[in-house]
Amino acid sequence: MSFPDPNSLVCSKVLEKTELTLIKLSNSLKIANLSRNFLKEIVIPLAVYFNSLERKKDPYFIGFTGGQGSGKTTLSEFVQLVLQLGFDKKTIGFSLDDIYKTPEEREEDAKNIHPLCRVRGVPGTHDIQLGLDTLDSLCSAVSSTLTSIPAFSKPLDRHMPKDTWRKYKGRPDFIFFDGWCVGSKPISTENWKRPMNKLEEEEDPEGIWSKWSNKELDGNYQVLFNRFDILLMIKVPNMEHVYESRWIQEKTLAKTLTDPELKKKIMTKEEVWRFVMHYERLTRYILEEMPSFADIVLKRDQHFNFSFIKTSK
């Protein structure tokens, strides 16, 4: 099936059926000024397209990727809701952020490899086997199977207690997985670029940490990413936009926290800038290279307007 026209009868009917619930979701996520065009032009056509895919035994595994604060997790939630309400499909989603290594594991890597390994985020700081095990459980599930979905608290910098993880019953029709570098491929080590920013200049001038992370990306990350049926990329204008989006994300997080101790862990703007420098090398590579092999590419401008620029390989 070709990618659906947002003005088609099927898209219009699905929008009518789900719009009020989508607006409620946007309110719960504290999204200000949700554009109806975002629902009509982006969310609904994506859900209609995914629903039109040829049925297969295993769930469809769909990756959403984009820079920090690009909106990939939010878009995933909206699309899943439309599939559930509009088409009676079973969906589950989790994130690369949900399968971080523990602080203790990262500290061990920091001692053995490089001090920057203790900072979560880049390839090498995730428990990819946990992601693969979760995926395998969902794909092989029968109607009575309960799969625990990992959950990680960024403010606490550790996984939530396992007995509090969501339990998904049965086998879903769709599994959504999102993350800033989801689907990315390792950077060629030929003509390796010099330090990309102040962080690398000061803390990794020889590239020990950045090359270690790149090598990690070439391992089990590719095993997980190669299982995607569809990879969707949200392409932001430039690296500077990633910095600004991550700062907006941090300010939004601050509004949702009620625990005074957790609020103290919110980063300042300067801390956010320093934090995003950890991701810059791979992010720039992703912005340049991923549009050529992602299945669907959405462009997002500095005003948070979305548009399709690619809908097939």
Region 45-69: mean pLDDT is 92
Hey, which residues does 49 pair with through a beta bridge?
Answer: none
Region 36-49: mean pLDDT is 94
- Percent of the chain past pLDDT 90, that is, above it, reads 72
What pLDDT sits at residue 71?
87
Q: Could you report the per-residue pLDDT of 70-109, keeping only the tens digit for each? A: 889 999 999 999 999 999 999 999 999 999 999 999 999 9
Domains and CATH numbers, the chain: 53-303 (3.40.50.300)
Judging by beta carbons within 10 Å of its beta carbon (0-12, 13-18, 19+), is residue 292 exposed, middle or buried? exposed
What pLDDT sits at residue 80?
97
- Percent of the chain past pLDDT 70, that is, above it, reads 98
Using alpha carbons, select from 271, 290, 273, 274 the residue that is nearest to residue 282.
Answer: 290
Single-letter code of the amino acid located at 216: E
Q: Is 299 helix (H, G, I), strand (E, B) or coil?
A: strand
Q: Could you report the per-residue pLDDT of 192-202, keeping only the tens digit for each? A: 999 999 999 99
Name the band, by pLDDT with cuts 50, 70 and 90, for residue 273: confident
What pLDDT sits at residue 246?
77
The phi and psi torsions of 224 (rounded to 5 degrees) equal -70, -50
DSSP 26-79: HHHTT-TT--HHIIIIIIHHHHHHHHHSPP-SSPEEEEEEESTTSSHHHHHHHH
Q: Is the pTM of this model over 0.85?
A: yes
What pLDDT sits at residue 1?
56
Using alpha carbons, select from 94, 104, 103 the residue that is nearest to residue 150.
Answer: 94
Task: State yes or no: pLDDT of 313 exceeds 60.
Answer: no
What pLDDT sits at residue 28?
82
